[in-house]
Each structure stands twice: as structure tokens, then as C-alpha cells.
Amino acid sequence: MTTPNTPSSPQAPSSTLKAYEDKIRAQVQEGKAKLEQFEAKAREKHAEAELSAINQLKTSKQDIDRKLQALKTTQEAMIGHAKESIDAEVAKFKASLDTLSGKLKP
């Protein structure tokens, strides 16, 4: 009878973490769709600087994906810090998308 630490308490952080991951993945997926549109426009205009920025944003998206994957194995004490780091990356990613959007408008 040494299972007092195994009730629903581990599931609560897990479900909260899953909801957080889903939210971030949705935001990143939306950003990826915008990137694809921007890339098509930039290729039409032969806008090399914008294509370079798009490639950098693709790398940023991959970094966010890696951090989300690593979040699953992050110690509970470090989850808050990991989320802050991911949130900062997502905010930077979205801001860069907005900047790029302004550059590619007709």
C-alpha cells in the first residue's frame, strides 16, 4: 500500500501540459500556413531578402517544435521556465510574421 502519490495529481499537470502544447501547436500551425503564403508571394516577386527571412522563420518554427517535444521530459520544477521560453519564442515568431506580412503586401 505504498501508492499514496499516484492518484490523479500526476494527470492534472499532464492534462494541463497537453492543453498548453495543443494551444502552442495551433498557433505555430497558423504561422506555418502564413509562411507558406508569404513564401509563394516572395517567390513571385523574386524577393530574396524576404525569402531569407522566411527561411529563418522556418528554423524558428522548428526550434519551437523541438522545445515543445522537450517539454514532455522536462522536470516538473522546470516546466514554468520552459513554458516562458516557449511563449517568448512564439511571441517573437508571431511578431516576425507580422513584420514580414507588411513587407509582402502589394
- pLDDT by residue (tens digit) across 67-95? 999 998 988 889 999 999 999 999 999 99
Cβ atoms of 31 and 93 closer than 8 Å: yes
Task: Give the total number of structural domains in the chain.
Answer: 1
Cβ atoms of 28 and 65 closer than 8 Å: yes
User: Model's pTM, two decimal places?
Assistant: 0.78
* C-alpha grid cell, residue 96: 516576425
Angle at 31 between CA 61 and CA 106, to 5 degrees: 125
For residue 23, being part of any structural domain is answered with no
pLDDT score of 7: 40
For residue 1, being part of any structural domain is answered with no
The whole-angstrom separation of Cα 58 and Cα 64 is 10
For residue 75, being part of any structural domain is answered with yes
The whole-angstrom separation of Cα 22 and Cα 28 is 10
What are 2-46's pLDDT values in tens digits? Answer: 444 434 344 445 788 889 999 999 999 999 999 999 999 899 988
Range of the domain at 37: 31-104
Comparing CA positions, the residue from 23, 28, 19 lying closest to residue 62 is 28
For residue 79, being part of any structural domain is answered with yes
For residue 66, being part of any structural domain is answered with yes
